[in-house]
Chain A
Amino acid sequence: MSDKLLFDRIDEPGLDTIEVYMRRGGYESLKRALRMTPEEVLQNLLDSGLRGRGGAGFAMGKKVSFLPRGAMDKYLVCNADESEPGTFKDRELMQKSPHMLVEGMIIAAYAAGANRSFIYIRGEYELQAMKLEAAIHEAREAGFLGEDILGSGHSQTLVLHRGAGAYICGEETGLLDSLEGKRGNPRLKPPFPANQGLYQGPTLINNVETLATVPHIIKMGGTEYAKLGVDNSAGTKLISISGNVQRPGNYEIELGMKSRDIVYGLAGGPEPGREIKFWFPGGSSSPVLTPEDLELPYDFDSMAKAGSMLGSGAIIVVDDSNSVVDVALTLAKFYRHESCGKCTPCREGTNWTVKMLQRIHEGDATPMDLDIIASVQDQIMGNCLCVLGDAMAMPLSSMVAKFRGEFEQYIEEKRAAAGFGEMPEPSPIAIAGAA
Chain B
Amino acid sequence: MSEQSPAVARYGHGSRIPGWDDSVDLGKDPAPVPDPATTPVPPQLREQIEAAMAKYPNFRSAAIPALHAAQDLHGWCSPEAIEQVACVMRLTPGYLTAVATFYDMFETEPVGRHRVYVCTNISCSLRGGPELLAAVQQAAGEDPDFNVRGFECLGACDIAPMASVNGEFVGPLELADAEQLVADLREGREVLPEKQLSRRACADPGAKAQAHE
**CB distance B155 to A123 under 8 Å?**
no
Given A9-B213, A420-B2, the answer on whether A242 and B160 have CB atoms closer than 8 Å is: yes
Any B CB within 8 A of the CB of A349: no
Any B CB within 8 A of the CB of A231: no
Question: 8 Å CB contacts to A: which residues of B57-86?
Answer: 57-65, 67-68
Q: Once bound together, how far apart are the Cα atoms of A138 and B67, in whole Å?
A: 27
Question: 8 Å CB contacts to B: which residues of A93-114?
Answer: 95-96
User: Which listed segment binds B: A161-169, A210-218, A401-409?
Assistant: A161-169
Q: How far is the CB of A115 from chain B (nearest CB, A)?
A: 11
Given A85-B122, A318-B126, A358-B8, the answer on whether A7 and B57 have CB atoms closer than 8 Å is: no
Identify which of A92, A331, A355, A362 gathers the most chain B CB atoms within 10 Å of its CB: A92
**CB distance A252 to B207 under 8 Å?**
yes
Interface size class of A (residues with CB under 8 A): 35 or more
**CB distance B203 to A88 under 8 Å?**
no
Q: Once bound together, how far apart are the Cα atoms of A370 and B125, in whole Å?
A: 23
**CB distance B204 to A250 under 8 Å?**
yes
Any A CB within 8 A of the CB of B153: yes
**CB distance A161 to B210 under 8 Å?**
no
Chain B residues within 8 Å of A10, by CB:
202, 204, 207
Residue of A nearest to B120 (CB): A330
Chain A residues within 8 Å of B98, by CB:
183
Chain A residues within 8 Å of B153, by CB:
83-87, 167, 284, 334
Q: Once bound together, how far apart are the Cα atoms of A88 and B62, in whole Å?
A: 27
Given A181-B63, A199-B57, A338-B152, the answer on whether A242 and B210 have CB atoms closer than 8 Å is: no
**CB distance B211 to A316 under 8 Å?**
no
**CB distance A178 to B64 under 8 Å?**
yes
A107-130 interface bits toward B, Cβ cutoff 8 Å, 1 = contact, 0 = none: 000000000100000111111000
Q: Once bound together, how far apart are the Cα atoms of A12 and B105, in whole Å?
A: 32
**CB distance B160 to A159 under 8 Å?**
no
Partner-B contacts on A (CB < 8 A): 2-4, 7-12, 73, 82-88, 90-92, 95-96, 116, 122-127, 159, 161-167, 178-184, 199, 240, 242-244, 247-252, 266, 284, 314, 316, 318-319, 322, 326-327, 330-331, 334, 337-338, 340, 355, 358-359, 361-363, 418-420
8 further contact pairs, Cβ within 8 A, besides A244-B127, A314-B157, A337-B152: A124-B154, A164-B64, A165-B103, A165-B106, A240-B157, A247-B203, A249-B204, A358-B7
Identify 27 residue pairs between A and B in the complex whose beta-carbon atoms are under 8 Å apart, listed by A's number.
Answer: A8-B210, A9-B211, A10-B204, A11-B208, A12-B211, A83-B155, A165-B105, A179-B61, A181-B58, A181-B60, A242-B157, A243-B126, A244-B126, A248-B157, A248-B160, A249-B204, A250-B202, A316-B126, A319-B126, A330-B120, A334-B152, A337-B152, A338-B152, A359-B8, A362-B7, A363-B2, A420-B2
